[in-house]
């Protein structure tokens, strides 16, 4: 299947981490593949295996115009020789942004639908309409989140726990699937904190709970770091991203990982974490969204 590259860990040291004797470790999972990077590698792993096992030659999935998942699925399809179709929320806008231009360059067929239609993306009748239009395909949900994606992220969690000592795990959250899989795979002594990048994302608690196979209370969501909503940013966030690149050689994006790491450091300053603890931050990729 798709190659996986071993990923490094870097440590971020600040006056606050020194004062509180905290180790802040960043797992550079964005380096696990040139294009199918970060959590997308783990969410797609078993979906791609299943598509091949069932002899499908075509993948269809959903996403917005700046979707990391669309970007990764297009690249994965090209690498495996599978045709890909991306059902995109909203009207086509020219020139195409970097994400959609890349997807097309990988051979993905982009199919634009209205936001109203997009809300029907899980309805059987709408899926049947897509099958009538495109023929047989292997369906991967929006964001890649399904049982096979959860399985892949649980496997990732096990790998992380075997390789690194940590008390807290922190990650950016979009649909909640990655976080659910990680919770499923970790021992209950580990605490998982998700940083939603959507405004008004309280609904994610229910979405995550539905995907858990354990009755775990070792996780929480930090809602205050969305910077106005999905794809939104401001000078504070952009200056933070610039600073992290200059001082720590750590590239971040302004849709996901920049918001998350800003939130982690803010919580450290407010003494949210136990003194003397180890925090593992997951860099889940998505750097192509810097072309927004």
The pLDDT > 70 percentage for the chain reads 99
Contact 115, 89 (CB under 8 A): yes
Q: What is the pTM of this model?
A: 0.93
Q: Per-residue pLDDT tens for 13-65? A: 999 999 999 999 999 999 999 999 999 999 999 999 999 999 999 999 999 99
Q: Per-residue pLDDT tens for 180-223? A: 999 999 999 999 999 999 999 999 999 999 999 877 789 999 99
Q: Could you give all domains of the chain from N- to C-terminal order, each with its CATH number?
A: 9-34+146-291 (3.40.50.1100), 39-144 (3.40.50.1100)
Q: Per-residue pLDDT tens for 225-284? A: 999 998 899 999 999 999 999 999 999 999 999 999 999 999 999 999 999 999 999 999
Residue 118 to residue 124: CA distance in whole angstroms: 13
Phi, psi of 28, rounded to the nearest 5 degrees: -80, 65
User: What size, in residues, is the chain?
Assistant: 292
Q: How many CA atoms lie within 13 A of 262 on its CB side?
A: 27
Mean pLDDT across 152-157 = 98
């Amino acid at each position: 299947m798709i190659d996986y590259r071993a990923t490094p860990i870097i440590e971020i040291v600040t006056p606050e981490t020194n004062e509180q004797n905290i180790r802040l470790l960043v797992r550079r999972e964005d380096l696990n593949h040139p294009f199918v990077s970060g959590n997308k590698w783990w969410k797609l792993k078993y979906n791609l295996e299943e598509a091949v096992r069932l002899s499908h030659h075509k993948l269809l999935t959903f996403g917005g115009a700046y979707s990391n998942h669309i970007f990764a699925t297009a690249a994965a399809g090209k690498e495996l020789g599978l045709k890909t179709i991306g059902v995109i929320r909203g009207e086509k806008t020219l020139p195409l942004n970097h994400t959609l231009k890349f997807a097309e360059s990988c051979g993905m067929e982009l199919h634009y639908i209205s936001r109203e239609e997009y809300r029907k993306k899980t309805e059987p009748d709408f899926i049947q309409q897509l099958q009538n239009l495109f023929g047989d395909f292997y369906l991967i949900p929006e964001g890649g989140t399904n049982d096979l994606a959860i399985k892949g992220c649980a496997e990732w969690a096990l790998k992380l726990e075997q390789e690194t000592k940590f008390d807290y795990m922190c990650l950016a959250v979009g649909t909640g699937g990655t976080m659910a899989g990680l919770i499923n795979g970790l021992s209950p002594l580990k605490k998982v904190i998700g940083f939603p990048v959507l405004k008004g994302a309280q609904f994610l608690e229910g979405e995550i709970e539905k995907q858990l196979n354990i009755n775990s209370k070792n996780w929480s969501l930090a809602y205050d770091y969305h910077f106005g909503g999905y794809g939104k940013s401001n000078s504070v966030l952009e200056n933070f991203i610039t600073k992290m690149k200059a001082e720590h050689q750590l590239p971040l994006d302004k849709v996901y990982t920049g918001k998350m790491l800003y939130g982690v450091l803010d919580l450290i300053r407010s003494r949210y974490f136990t003194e003397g603890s180890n925090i593992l931050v997951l860099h889940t990729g998505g750097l192509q969204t810097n072309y927004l």
